[in-house]
Chain A
Amino acid sequence: MKFRLIALAGLITAFAYLLAALGENSEIPAGAGTFLIVLLLLVVVAHFAVKYLASAADRLFLPLAVFLHGIGFVMITRLSDRLSGLQATWSLIGIGAFVGTLVIVQRVNDLARYKWGFFTGGVFLLLLPLVPGLGFTNGGARIWVNLGPINFQPGEFAKIALAIFVAGYLAERRELIAAGTWTIGRLHLPEPRDVLPLLMAWGVSVVVMVGEKDLGSSLLFFMLFVVMLWVATEKMSYLVVGLSMFAVGAVIAYNMFDHVRDRVEIWLDPWSQYSGKGYQVVQGMFAFGAGGYTGSGLGKGFPTRIPAAQNDFIFAAIGEELGLLGCTAILAAFVLLIGAGLRTASRTQRPFEQLLATGLTLIFGLQAFIIIGGVLRVVPLTGVALPFVSYGGSSLVANYVLLAILVRISDGAARQVGDAPDTLTLSERWELRKLRKAANEPAN
């Protein structure tokens, strides 16, 4: 049953790949056979990894991710042969990271113990691009790190580490924070020693992201924090206060930073800056307009007209060649993935896992909304990758790690509620074997 879903995602990718090649050059490319075999192998490996390492997990996660990843890969291939090769390598690493995470993380609840370690690691990753000689600026944001042959964005991994930290911290102190035992007049506030560490950690992260001019990540992390605080304390007031703070922060940022003001002006009226800063947004709209209901067909449109079509604007490229139908499928896949993530969050019994599943779901759900909304001019454009779809190794690998943790939580949740027997994990089996061996050996 589950294999059928993932086989379907693989088949869709394979057909899309062939159609794109036919649409562009009217011939099947020479390497197609190899590509299809590697694709099939990857899909099978990922499938069996879930089957043996997390057999009780929600069966939607992997097929949806493979579908998004596949469509994205086909689009990247269609846009640039060079990037296609790089993304193929990253795809291998991504699936490897997925399987690796499933092997290493066997009891998600254990991660909570290392929350301050994750915080330190997360901030370290965030600060890496600021190190002279190591970090560099690309596309206006200083979020890149150069490690000899490869460039990557450590921020993609920092988000996951920080989500683990916030979930761990809140799982431990959420009742104390919610109780609000510190009263000033009529106000019931949480004790400063319960919230201050959290607020400081959050402040440091957001300040670093704003300092790197990474608007998208700042927005994402701010919202992630506020929503997790609200879910953990079950107090609406935190959401209201958080969103009000966001509004105030946005107004201040608008007045303080030129690049924020630019984004808002382009959002409101890209046409007046057509030949300048609004060009990319307008080309994106032209792409959607050209696509119509069914799109031009893969390889038949002109998505290369859009600057950075393979990154931030890949949704517009899909809109041009696959039309409303293709875009709706992408949106539906994200909604289903969010649904699966939040269902996992509400099924698990442990507060840490609940909060972590919520946070991780929010990371990709909100990130996809921020970038698709930016391209569609629902919100001002802030450059972030479209999870699983956009070109970029760091984002792809980080999202597969994130997915693996969600799969792991989902698997654990099923065992907690008794949907599946709570079998031993790999390392527990290993320990048991050692114990048995020791017991069988004659004492001397």
Chain B
Amino acid sequence: MNRQIRRLALGLIACYAILFLQLNVWQVARSDELKDDSRNNRELLRDFNSPRGRIITADEVVVAETIERDLDGNVVRQRTYPERDLFANVTGYFTLGFGSSQLERSENDVLAGRTAEQQLQLAQNLFTDQDVSGDVILAMREDIQSAAKEALGEREGSVVVLDVRTGAVLAMWSWPTFDPNILSDRTRTDTLDWFNFLNADNRKPLLANAYQERYMPGSTFKVITTATALRDSLIDLTTVWEQENAFTPPQTTDPIENYGGSTCGGDLTEVFTRSCNIPFARIALTLGAKKLVRATDDWGFGENLPLDLPRPVASVFGTVNDFEDDLPMLAIQGFGQGNAQMVPLHMAMVAATIANGGKMMVPYVVSSTVDRNGKVLTSTSPTVWRTPIDSETAAILTELMIGVVRNGTASCCMQLANGVQAAAKTGTAQLNAKGEPMRSHAWITAFAPANAPKIAIAVMVKGVNDEVSASTGGRLAGPIAKRVLDLALRVLGP
């Protein structure tokens, strides 16, 4: 029997060798794959029970922090957002049940202390449970963000404020939004209901509409049509268009009209400040699809905006092929109707580019990250994204936009405090077809002071009801922009 017992021993050892090999497969070979699996929330759990840094605005208001609280007799950590919904679209949420979003997700390494530099500090103090979490410092300001929120009020839409020289995002607000505390509160039992409720809302409150949605721009787009024609020397300040109230482009019998069916014409300054439609339809046709599409590419259309937040979207205009057999569409997109769509953040970047002499800066919300001891881990340095126009074209556009504020579509509402001169372009994007109830988005894009620009802004109010749709960009979006610009100029100083 001893021979059999020896063989049995070998057989069993072989079995255990197989176990050892398989153990290596899971613990070594496929360890990373298992750790990265989206269903594996161990990393999140670990982060959840560890210290986590704060997210702080440029004016030193804490907008996200971790507190300790009592849960059924246990002390647990929980993320709170003292400013409630004000920065929800930027900080996002950090929850056990639904994962994390926005900066809580993209800056997780710094906040949780997982960057190489922070881990090194941990290694130096092996035997003390040291807190190595880091803070994220925003370029955004709580005071300007609050002003944007109050100015927009209960209307659906977005407000984006940029520093024209650096591209820093000073405020980025959109409504509806949500209060991340509802999702992160560990004592609540209805968080799943809330999450499903927010997710099901077709106004998309969980999405940052200011940079994750795009809308028809309307007449604000005329800035780009004008810039392209100026650069191409197709027009200059002396070009004159005849007075007309209808224009029928090729390939159709359906005429293009001006806003409200009015008769409109004159020199460039006049048609720009009065925001006539027909001259810009004619410019688009004369330029041709190729030149206009290439110009929009230069402005960054068709490319996801280079913002330091997760999943920004791109503005769209169309391709050359789209317009080859559809010249009427090219004509109406020349004044921002049709299939043209712009992201509110991008619209603010257009104004900032004109204000910055033609240089379009990379927008950013995080200005720096620092460790527990205040040492800077990373800091954002302003960089140019694109240069769609030269400084001369920018100067002419500035003059035209000053005209809009002085005696054009924004003259009602953009006279800033202390006599500061603003430059602006309004837009009223018509959404309805003929015969349907009137629906339009109200836009304004502006910067100030016009002679030495500091701040650019874009305001978009969604045309969801009669009240919004009955008004124009200048009357509706103008006062919002004025209120925010006044406050921003006051807090940032002359």
A residues adjacent to B (C-beta < 8 A)? 26, 227, 230-232, 234, 274, 282, 285-286, 288-293, 301-302, 305, 319, 323-324, 327-328, 331, 334-335, 338-339, 342, 345-346, 351, 354-355, 358, 362, 365-366, 369, 372-373, 376-378
Contact = CB atoms under 8 A, between A and B. Distances in A.
B33 interface: yes
B8 interface: yes
Interface stretch (B16-24, B192-200, B387-395, B409-417): B16-24
Nearest to A373: B19
Interface string B32-63: 11110101111001100000000000000000
A288 B26 contact: yes
Contacts of B3: 234
B481 to A, nearest CB: 49
B45 to A, nearest CB: 5
Given A274-B39, A289-B26, A376-B22, A345 B5 contact: yes
Nearest to B33: A289
Contacts of A331: 16, 19-20, 23
A376 B32 CA distance: 17
Nearest to A235: B4
Nearest to B45: A302
Interface string B453-486: 0000000000000000000000000000000000
Contacts of A290: 31, 34-35, 40, 42
B71 interface: no
Contact of B37 (A26, A286, A288): A286
A219 B186 CA distance: 45
A333 to B, nearest CB: 11
B40 A292 contact: no
B27 A334 contact: no
A342 B12 CA distance: 10
A327 B34 CA distance: 18
Contact of B27 (A323, A338, A369): A323
Nearest to A290: B42
A328 B34 contact: no
Contact of A376 (B2, B12, B26, B42): B26
B129 interface: yes
B27 A319 contact: yes
Given A282-B39, A286-B37, A334-B16, A234 B22 contact: no
Contacts of A289: 26-27, 30-35, 40
B6 interface: yes
Nearest to B6: A346
A324 B28 contact: yes
A316 to B, nearest CB: 9
Contacts of A362: 8
A293 B40 contact: no
A376 B24 CA distance: 10
A26 B2 CA distance: 53
B1 interface: yes
A8 B13 CA distance: 25
B37 A292 contact: no
Given A289-B35, A302-B42, A351 B1 contact: yes
A251 to B, nearest CB: 22
29 contacts: A231-B5, A274-B39, A282-B39, A285-B26, A286-B34, A289-B27, A289-B30, A289-B35, A290-B34, A292-B28, A292-B31, A319-B23, A327-B23, A327-B27, A328-B23, A331-B19, A335-B12, A335-B13, A335-B16, A338-B13, A339-B9, A342-B5, A354-B1, A358-B1, A362-B8, A373-B15, A373-B22, A376-B26, A377-B22
Contacts of B5: 231, 342, 345-346, 354, 358
The 10 closest A-B pairs by CB, nearest first: A289-B34, A288-B26, A231-B4, A376-B22, A324-B27, A286-B40, A342-B9, A289-B31, A346-B2, A346-B5
Given A288-B34, A369-B19, A234 B1 contact: yes
Contacts of A26: 129
A24 to B, nearest CB: 11
A230 B4 contact: yes
B2 to A, nearest CB: 5
Contacts of B18: 373, 378
B8 A293 contact: no
Nearest to B44: A302
B464 to A, nearest CB: 38
B112 to A, nearest CB: 15
Q: Is the interface of A mostly helix, strand, loop or mixed?
A: helix
A272 to B, nearest CB: 12
Contacts of B31: 288-292
A328 B26 CA distance: 13
A285 B36 CA distance: 12
A369 B45 CA distance: 31
Which of A234, A288, A372 gathers the greatest number of chain B CB atoms within 10 Å? A288
A26 B131 CA distance: 14
A293 B31 CA distance: 9
B51 to A, nearest CB: 13
Contacts of A291: 27, 31
Nearest to A286: B40
Contacts of A351: 1
B266 to A, nearest CB: 67
A54 B20 CA distance: 34
A285 B37 CA distance: 11
Contacts of B23: 288, 319, 324, 327-328, 331, 376
A131 B39 CA distance: 42
Contact of A286 (B2, B22, B42, B46): B42
A126 B15 CA distance: 28
Contacts of A342: 5-6, 8-9, 12
Contacts of B6: 342, 346
A288 B35 CA distance: 9
Contact of A292 (B1, B27, B39): B27
A157 B45 CA distance: 41
A289 B33 CA distance: 8
A5 to B, nearest CB: 21
A332 to B, nearest CB: 9
A351 B16 CA distance: 27
A342 B11 CA distance: 12
A246 to B, nearest CB: 15
A354 B31 CA distance: 43
A286 B36 CA distance: 10
Contact of B20 (A288, A302, A328, A345): A328
A305 B42 contact: yes
B175 to A, nearest CB: 36
Contacts of B46: 302
Contacts of A327: 23, 27
Nearest to A287: B42
Contacts of A354: 1, 5
Contacts of A378: 18-19, 22
Given A230-B4, A232-B1, A324-B27, A285 B34 contact: yes
Which of A282, A288, A289 gathers the greatest number of chain B CB atoms within 10 Å? A289
A227 B8 CA distance: 8
A231 B8 contact: yes
Contacts of A274: 39
A179 to B, nearest CB: 16
